[in-house]
Structure formats: C-alpha cells, structure tokens
Structure 1
C-alpha cells in the first residue's frame, strides 16, 4: 500500500556535497535553514554526497557538519526520507541514527494528496549502459558491501577515488543516449507501481516528460543537480513546482 503524504513535501537529489564545493555547501545550509524547515517531509533521492566510503567516515569534520545539519532538521520536525544514489549507497544505520533520517528501499511508492507516485534515484532506469548496470548489481550486493567495508577507511577512499576516475574516463567513450534513461524501463516502472507520476534524479537533466503508458499520460519529473544553488521540487496545494534558492 502506498504511504499517504500531505504537503508541503520537498524533493532534492544530486547535491554531491564535499568539502571542496563551498558554494554548494552554503546552498545546502541555507536550504536546511529555510525551505526544508517549513516542509513536512523532505525526500533526498540519492547522491547527497560526492561519495560515501562508509559510516565510520562520519568522524570527518565535513561529514559531521552535514550530519548535524540533518539532525537539527529532523529534530525541528521535518521528516527526511533518503533513497541511496550511485555515489552514497554505503550510507547505513549509523548515519541514520546520527541524523534521524529514514533509509528507504528503492523504489519508493507513495500517494501525494491521493495521487500515486514512484520515487527513484534514477540510475536503475539507465539500462542501455550495460557496463554500469553490471557494476551497480555488484556494489549493491550485501556480501560485496560487507567485504568492502571491512577494509581500512583510507583504503576504501582510495579505491573509490580510483573507480571515480575510471568512470569519468569511461564516460568519454559513451554516447549521451547510453547514459540516459531507457524509455522501456520507465514504462515498466510506471506499470509496476501502478501510478502516473515519477520523480527521480541521477541524469542531471532537469525536465518534465510525458510518457504514454497503457494509453494514459504519465508524468516524469527529473530533478536538477546542485551547483552553488539549491534547486528542488515542492508538492504544495496538490501540484508540483520547481523552485530554486539562490544564495
């Protein structure tokens, strides 16, 4: 059964927070102190961090700062639901305990003022990128994660940095279409969820698409990534609206 959610509800994704991106960090601080404080529920649909090497990395000052911001927000009364992305799928129970957020299993199905919807990070829909889907299946395996998390933190960070460098190099060999959403995967997701509204991130291509599914129109809203501003979707008064907080 879908969770019934009433507004105001906010949706964000692809912040890629890290100490090197001071402008984006300031935008997140302002977002938490402003619009998010007024929301009943905030959905973070993945890639909150540039990467996450494991919950023991909470000891890093920057990560602790972000965790404290989230904890302040949940204590103030905003419910935060987190869906893992391709950069932060190792976020676990310790992070959730420290922040008060709820870790949700993808896909999330809910009803926004009685309108059925499905929420995803979005990478699972990029089925034309076969190499990535093989990698995704590997790193989402609990056995692989347990083995990886048993390594020293510094070693994990170095491995992730190496994988990221290889990924960026690999993107140069792939067409934009391969890395984008597959239409059949989208239709299948709509059919499985029995809804007509989808919200996701990952592609960094904000837009609103209309898909025909079993003869009916279905809306797919793609969230924007963050680059020094705070773009988000807001569900209020029975409608979705794109908003952006400028710092």
Structure 2
C-alpha cells in the first residue's frame, strides 16, 4: 500500500484539464491508497465553504466519494485556500490538519506543511499572511455577499501576480535556516511541503544529521505526485493526460 501527497493543483473552473486529471487521479490511484495528503493550494483561490458554483460542488462530491470509500484524506491549508474550513470538511469527509503537522510514515516520523511559512526572506508576503490569517478579518470576509467576495479575490489575485513579477526567485524560495529550525523543533529528518513549485528531493546534513526535504510540484503543466510506501519514496511528474482514463469508485 502507498500514501500519496499532492499540492499546488490550483484547481479552477477555467482549467478543466487540471480538474479532469485530478478527478481521475482520485478515481484511479487514490482509491487504492492508504491515505491522501493534500498540502495546500488545491484551489486557485477558495472564497468560502459556501461556494455555490457547479465547479466547487464537483470537487466536494469527488472527495466525498473517496472518503466514503474508506480512504482518509488530510488537508493542510495553503496560501490560496486558507479560507477552507470545517463546513468543507463536513461535506467531504476531509480531515483538516494544523499548518505544521507531524505524521508517521511507515515507521518514519515526518513533518508536513504547505511551505509558505518557510519563505521567511519574503517579508512582504509574510506580513500579508499574518494579516489575512487574523480570525476577525476572516470572520468578516466570510459574511460579505458572495459577489463582493469574488470581486475582492479577483483584485487580490491581480495584486499577487504583480507582486511576484518584482521579486527574485531566491526571495520566494524557502529559507534554509527556517527549514532546519522547523525540523529540529519536531525532531524529524524528513520534511514534505509544496508552495514553491520547484519539485525536488533535497538531501542535506545539519549538525551531523542527514535530512531529507521533499518539495512537491504544481499541476499547471503536469501532475506532481509523491508516492511513499514501506520501501521508500518516489516523486513523479505526469503529463496532465496521464490520468485521463475512465475509472470509477466502486
């Protein structure tokens, strides 16, 4: 059996190719997994659990079908879907995890997270993150009319795109010292995260201890999936058409 990890799919109604690949991944691969971990940014932007669109309903139904079948699905909020909450979990059976979570992977302890909190050199983003994670602000936003929320989100997305164009790739990557600090705090030698869209397996030595950091890729042009079993791990990239076969959950 295998445990699967994905992140940064950025699902959106205007990218049906990614949605189709994700749905068939659930039907054809995740159905046989020990567990599925979604490490944030499943959506391009999640405006609220009351999203009434057919697109949102389609994703909720697919995840509900998987969890009803008996596959546990765990979710860590990303910087695009930090508004995903308990109502979504009740509707789908997905289990929401803390931003930084320790898990056991076939006898090996690991720490998992979205990864944006590791990018401490990007001070402007970290300030934005602290602001939008304030409970009172989220409470207020969720009570705005749906159309107003979507307009605000559209403006935020535009600002994010503009902001990225002025930043170096180094600033938007993880800070090595922050990575080491988080791993030391949790007493682990394995970290799994997404966010940076730079899929890789990094092997480093810190204070004499061998450490592994696995970075998941995005799904803009390909599907990025981490497979972990008792024998080890494998980070694979598939063409978006790779999973576009017709499979159904029994």
Question: Quick check: 1:31 aligned with 2:21?
Answer: no
- Matched residues in 1 for 2:198 and 2:237: separation? 15
Q: Distance in 2 between matches of 1:20 and 1:150?
A: 26
**1-structure distance, mates of 2:237, 2:181:** 31
Report the equivalent of 1:4.
none
- TM-score computed with the length of structure 1 as normaliser: 0.94
1:122 aligns with 2:87: no
User: Unpaired segments of 5 or more residues in structure 1?
Assistant: 1-6
Any conservation in 2 of the 1:40–1:77 contact (CA below 8 Å)?
Answer: no
Partner of 1:142: 135
Q: Tell me, yes or no, if the aligned pair for 2:106 and 2:229 is still in contact at 8 Å.
A: no
CA distance in 2, matches of 1:34, 1:103: 23
TM-score (norm. length: structure 2): 0.93
Q: Which residue among 102, 111, 115 is the counterpart of 2:95?
A: 102
CA distance, structure 2, for counterparts of residue 181 and residue 108 of structure 1: 18
Aligned to 2:71: 78
1:224 match: 217
1:16 aligns with 2:23: no
Q: For residue 63 of structure 1, what is the aligned residue in structure 2?
A: 56
Distance 2:212 2:179 in 1: 11
> Is 1:173–2:166 an aligned residue pair?
yes
Note the C-alpha offset of 1:237: 2.5
Deviation at 1:80, TM superposition (A): 0.3
Give 4+ residue runs of structure 1 displaced > 3 Å after superposition: none
Determine the C-alpha separation between the residues in 2 that align with 1:192 and 1:69: 36
How many residue pairs are counted as aligned between the two chains? 240
Tell me how far apart the structure 2 counterparts of residues 188 and 141 of structure 1 sit (CA, whole Å): 24
